[in-house]
Structure 1
């Protein structure tokens, strides 16, 4: 693989220059702002788990900025890896802290995430013909909603918080999915909305995790 090969995936990008996606690039500030807001909301309740999520959330903003400016394959990896780490860390913590299962069950949930994602995203691709790459995030949406529904009767505020997160993610996935389809009508595209809404969602999910720990 040629790591420096250029990538043009988004409606806003019209050439391969550094600032060809200014809105997509600058709206990655949403992830940094979300991390800072969550940092202050947590105050003295920060623990290693939530601190790790805050660090990863910051890395998501940096990695995505690199991808929407450099637009290369190596920058694409810098964009995708922090998102994957966030999902896996959150899944482990949700299984152990929210559901109350032992550490090995959390590790098993992380392992199962990969075949689950492959199967579900494959089914979504077949049913929809593809969602502009967003089909890979649908399994995560289903997990958040599933954990939220499971916890509604056991930890109602946590269950509601997760379902709110699933609702925000649904909106952000919609924005990501239609980006290419609306290019003619909206030259700017809608990918920047994915950044803004996802920043809110990821920060919110950290707060939900913290609040659950605080009331247990």
Structure 2
């Protein structure tokens, strides 16, 4: 079961290891982004954890785009889910000042939120990319709520959400454009996501450092 192979992307023509060379190698962007942001996370355990998960996203996605198996798909998606949940917790606790237990509850609410919104995005024809669409919406909501108290952080969140929206479009276009662009566009999802995730960590780090500077 776990070794069952999946052909989901335009670039893949067979089930050999290097059948998706561009999709596979562009996962280096996640690794490079994690190495770049890691030194800036010193003294911030959650930011450091996010950098580690970002590194794992690159490894997991590489595993999927080389093996094209169900276990590879799990290695690809679990680190992404982990990043989302850790960031929601960090943003809820440290951007809005909620107690830890309340932040945990808000984080767990992501699951019913996603269950309610993914079908709505699926109706827009996003296919499997609908599973990611609730995330930029949630980031925009956090940015809007945070705007009065921390406008710089809110702008950073809005930029991150905008990059993710573009990234999701690139993921969605991979198969529709396959006939005219055999390479596909999924590799752009990797490059834009690496940029976006490093940016989101930087937004969190900057917020925390500015808070310390102001004595908050």
- Say if 2:133 is the partner of 1:138: yes
Contact kept? 1:132, 1:176, Cα under 8 Å: no
Structure 2 SS opposite 1:13 = coil
Aligned length: 211
TM-score with structure 2 length normalisation? 0.95
Deviations 1:46-70 (A, max 9, x none): 4211111011000000000000000
Q: Structure 2 regions of 5+ residues with no counterpart?
A: 212-216
Q: Structure 1 regions of 5+ residues with no counterpart?
A: none
Task: Give the aligned partner of residue 95 of structure 1.
Answer: 92
Task: Give the aligned partner of residue 206 of structure 2.
Answer: 211
TM-score with structure 1 length normalisation? 0.95
- Note the C-alpha offset of 1:36: 1.2
Structure 2 SS opposite 1:180 = coil
Deviations 1:136-157 (A, max 9, x none): 1111111111111111111011
RMSD (Å) for aligned C-alpha atoms = 0.9
Deviations 1:67-91 (A, max 9, x none): 0000000010000000000000000
- Note the C-alpha offset of 1:94: 0.3
- Note the C-alpha offset of 1:132: 3.1
4+ aligned runs moved over 4 Å, structure 1: none
Task: Give the distance between the partners of 1:164 and 1:104, measured in 2 at CA.
Answer: 29
- Say if 2:19 is the partner of 1:24: no
Task: Give the distance between the partners of 2:43 and 2:120, measured in 1 at CA.
Answer: 39
